[in-house]
């Protein structure tokens, strides 16, 4: 890859094992065919499904291939909502059907794949309750909201902008106690942190292949058999009737190969990336003292910040259920280790040890700087990054995530997201550190005009 790529949260370069798997299976025909070539294609598809199921703690029948993570989110959220409205569905099909029809629980910091789906449901008459984040970006679970039955409750596992890992296990637990089906958007997590769908207890979970080095145009939906979403795509009934259309066997095989490699190197990568992130954060805090590290740490709601929560952005241990070695790589001096998605730590995400941030994820706010100017100036140095905010007609707009966190607009308009991956090394981080102070200074001048 040319230049220095710091936008792995948007996409990650395809792995060679995925390319090889795709080429190997590209000649296969329709897996629905009842003849020999169809059976051969179906066998390859079944193998890919079984591999993914084993890696994500699911049953093979629960693995649904989609065209993207966005599509998986739409099928889950809209499908579970529609299931609650199905006449005669009843508690056996959907425990929340009768008392919850028409109600949705979500958060104000979701990816547009979920946020816009929820807005569309609201436009069609759904009542929506939004859970809000703390100023550090971690969702504050409202027991009153979650204890009231709903058609579906949906939350992202880790935020695509800030990298903040959310208390998904407690979220699922509270919603399930009310009989509410749950969807987890795990697009930023699958392939980077351990996932056990069975242990999590969610109804559905979405992932995207290109986020962990698989091909673009492939999503994964993990969906329990009951309660199941109602189909929103109609046709030949493939993928348990949830996603009609001929399945792309080659891309499914490539996705399975990429996920297998990603999971195998997960612990080592978490340690390596967290070390690089700490290096970046330490340098920027020294060179640009007024920079704000978003989601650097979070304390119990209403509590005063502790020494640990004042540590580096990567100093709060990053991985949801990551092994000890990976967690230790994120712990700064005096930081208290935690695993954000282990049963205890996830449930205690609002109290006690600081919640965590994805290991390769660093999000900053540079007060008074212009986000678009920073991106263009970095690009002139061969550095590719993201503001993480929406852009309309060339005007940098406040990110809905930072707005929900209550960030100051002058700070938030100077936001930059640096996300690292397997091709990120010390040279890239050092290059970024060497040019960023001048970039920020020039972007602050640009913001005045």
Active site residues: 391
> Smallest Cα–Cα separation from 49: which of 199, 259, 256?
256
> Residue written as tokens 């952005």?
313
Taking the C-alpha atoms of residue 81 and residue 153, their distance in angstroms, rounded to an integer, is: 9
Taking the C-alpha atoms of residue 417 and residue 420, their distance in angstroms, rounded to an integer, is: 10
Taking the C-alpha atoms of residue 432 and residue 429, their distance in angstroms, rounded to an integer, is: 5
Quick one: CA torsion of 443, 447, 448, 449, rounded to 10 degrees? 110
* C-beta of residue 46 within 8 angstroms of C-beta of residue 181: no
Would you list the DSSP string of 260-288? Answer: HHHHHTHHHHHHHHHHHHHHHHHHHHHHS
Neighbours of 11 (CB within 10 A): 14
Q: Which helix (H) or strand (E) holds 328?
A: helix 324-328
Omega before residue 275 within 30° of 0, cis: no
Backbone angles phi, psi at 48, to 5 degrees: -65, -40
Q: Which two tokens stand for residue 357?
A: 């941030």
Q: Which two tokens stand for residue 164?
A: 């903040």
DSSP state of 298: -
DSSP state of 164: B
Cβ density class 281-307: b for 16+ within 10 Å, e for less:
bbbbbeebeebbbbbbbbbbeeeeebe
Cβ within 8 Å of residue 48, ≥6 positions away = 249, 252, 253, 255, 256
Residue 346 bridge partners (DSSP): none
Compute the C-alpha angle 30/35/37, nearest 5°: 50
């Amino acid at each position: 890859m040319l230049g220095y790529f710091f936008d792995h949260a948007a996409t990650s370069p395809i792995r060679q094992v995925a390319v090889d798997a795709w080429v190997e299976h590209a000649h296969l025909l329709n897996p629905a065919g009842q003849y020999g070539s169809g059976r051969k294609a179906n066998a390859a598809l079944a193998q890919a499904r079984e591999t993914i199921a084993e890696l994500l703690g699911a049953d093979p029948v629960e693995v649904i291939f989609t065209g993207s993570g966005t599509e998986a989110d739409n099928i889950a959220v809209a499908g579970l909502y529609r299931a609650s409205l199905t006449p005669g569905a009843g508690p056996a099909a959907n425990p929340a059907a009768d008392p919850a029809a028409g109600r949705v629980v979500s958060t104000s910091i979701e990816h547009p794949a979920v946020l816009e789906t929820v807005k569309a449901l609201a436009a069609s008459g759904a009542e929506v309750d939004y859970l809000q984040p703390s100023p550090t970006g971690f969702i504050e679970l409202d027991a009153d909201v979650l204890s009231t039955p709903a058609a579906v409750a949906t939350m992202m596992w880790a935020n695509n902008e800030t990298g903040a890992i959310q208390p998904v296990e407690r979220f699922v637990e509270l919603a399930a106690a009310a009989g509410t089906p749950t969807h987890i958007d795990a697009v930023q997590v699958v392939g980077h942190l351990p996932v056990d769908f069975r242990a999590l207890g969610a109804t559905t979970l979405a992932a995207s292949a290109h986020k962990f080095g698989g091909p673009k145009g492939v999503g994964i939906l993990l969906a329990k058999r009951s309660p199941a979403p109602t189909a929103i795509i109609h046709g030949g009934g493939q993928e348990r009737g949830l996603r009609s259309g001929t399945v792309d066997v080659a891309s499914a095989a490539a996705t399975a190969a990429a996920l297998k490699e990603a999971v195998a190197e997960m612990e080592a990568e978490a340690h390596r990336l967290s070390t690089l992130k700490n290096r970046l954060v330490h340098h920027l805090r020294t060179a640009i003292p007024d920079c704000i590290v978003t989601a650097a740490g979070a304390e119990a709601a209403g509590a005063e910040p502790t020494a640990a929560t004042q540590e580096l952005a990567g100093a709060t241990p990053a991985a949801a259920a990551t092994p000890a070695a990976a967690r230790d790589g994120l712990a700064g001096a005096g930081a208290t280790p935690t695993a954000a998605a282990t049963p205890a730590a996830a449930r205690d995400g609002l109290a006690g040890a600081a919640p965590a941030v994805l290991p390769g994820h660093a999000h900053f706010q540079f007060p008074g700087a212009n986000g678009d100017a920073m991106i263009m100036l970095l690009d002139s140095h061969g550095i590719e990054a993201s503001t993480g905010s929406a852009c309309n007609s060339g005007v940098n707009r406040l990110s809905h995530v930072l707005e929900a966190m209550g960030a100051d607009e002058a700070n938030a308009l100077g936001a930059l997201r640096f996300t690292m991956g397997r091709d990120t090394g010390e040279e890239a981080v050092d290059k970024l550190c060497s040019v960023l102070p001048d970039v920020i200074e020039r972007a602050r001048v640009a913001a005045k005009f």
